[in-house]
Amino acid sequence: MFCDLHMHSTASDGTDAPDALPRLAKQAGLAAIALTDHDTTAGLPACADAARAARIDFIPGIELSADPSSIPGPAPDTADRPPRGTLHLLGYFIRHDDPQLARVQERLRRAREERNPAMVERLNELGVNITYDEVLEAAGALSAGGSSSSDIVGRPHIAQVMVQKGYVRSIHEAFARYIGEGGEAYVRKDRLAAADAIAAITAAGGLAFLAHPVQLRLDSPDELEHLVKRLAEMGLAGIETRHSDHTPADAQRFEHLAERFDLLTCGGSDYHGGRKAIQLGGVRVPFAVYERLRDAHAAAA
Ligand code: AMP
Ligand code: ZN
Ligand code: FE
Ligand code: FE
């Protein structure tokens, strides 16, 4: 038996509605899933209902973007290094309507509402003529309600419009040339401090996990160890060891790291529907990983 504890729905930047995922997961042979949309819990109630109907175990989750530079490096000489890559924190078993987590979501939404139009403006200056309304439409954010309306608008939606209007041939090209970090139209987004992300997840009754550590793009195992130690002090519960971006050697390395710091492990595909070439359940995560998480949550409650 397998589980998949990392996936996105149309509530953020996936292409499957939250209430469609449980059935698809069942068809893929999975026995438990977690919905972990970026910066929003909007899809959780519909997904929970559909999971009950499909008789598949469900964890209400979230994936929060945090600022890697909110964690000081291991030595003073690291202060002048360029900021590290992506720091994402997964929250599991969160209460979807927790007020503190709601305030965090509101802040992150405002950050996107500032950043997305700024990126569209830069694209316009570069001769890429797309409008912010087209981006909102691509996200489904202009349709009123319904299970496939998006709560979160982001770069994948901008990329989709660029492809549709023929300015780039692929989502990948949109990121590589324009809206990826270092791209001509890239605009940095206000992010949470890691401590605030972990605190919000914990306040909502959840367990916080470090997502896909390879995306941090750290230079050495020592740096990762240092970062995990700091996060553990902030209340981190575990590490995502299995992920589509991880090689088997990465996964093993992260399993050892989790063991060393007495942390739980989780894993998943990071499925985004048609937006990425990743299959639901495409990363084999034993059902026992889900059971340990479930039991840890029950013990903490
Ligand atoms: P945003 O939250 O608006 O900054 O968008 C981030 C999302 O864009 C991530 O969650 C990924 O799903 C997607 N993404 C980031 N980099 C790339 C890339 N190089 N190619 C395709 N998708 C990407
Ligand atoms: Zn995404
Ligand atoms: Fe992520
Ligand atoms: Fe993700």
Q: What is the pLDDT of residue 301?
A: 78
Q: What was the pLDDT predicted at 219? A: 86
In the chain, the DSSP E strands lie at 2-4, 30-35, 57-67, 87-92, 192-193, 207-210, 238-242, 264-267, 285-286
pLDDT at 300: 87
Residue 24 CB neighbours (<10 A): 18
* Spatial CA neighbour of 51 closest among 292, 301, 299, 290: 290
CA 179, CA 169: separation in Å to the nearest integer? 14
Q: Is 180 in the pocket of ligand 1 (CB under 6 A)?
A: yes
- Say yes or no: CB of residue 172 within 6 Å of ligand 1: yes
Question: Taking the model in full, what pTM does it have?
Answer: 0.93
Distances (CA, A) of 245 to 33, 106, 180, 254, 274: 19, 29, 17, 13, 17
Task: Name the 3-class secondary structure at 126.
Answer: coil
Average pLDDT across each block of 10 residues of the chain; the chain has 301 residues. List them in order. 97 95 98 97 98 98 95 63 81 98 95 96 97 92 62 92 96 96 92 97 98 94 94 97 97 97 98 90 97 96 78
Tally Cβ neighbours within 10 Å of residue 255.
15
- Distance from C-alpha of 103 to C-alpha of 273, rounded to nearest angstrom: 28
Question: Quick one: 62 exposed, middle or buried, by C-beta within 10 A (0-12, 13-18, 19+)?
Answer: buried
Q: How many residues comprise the chain?
A: 301
**Predicted pLDDT at 80:** 55
Best residue among 8, 10, 13 to mutate for probing ligand 1's pocket (most ligand atoms within 8 Å of CB) is 13
pLDDT of 265 reads 98
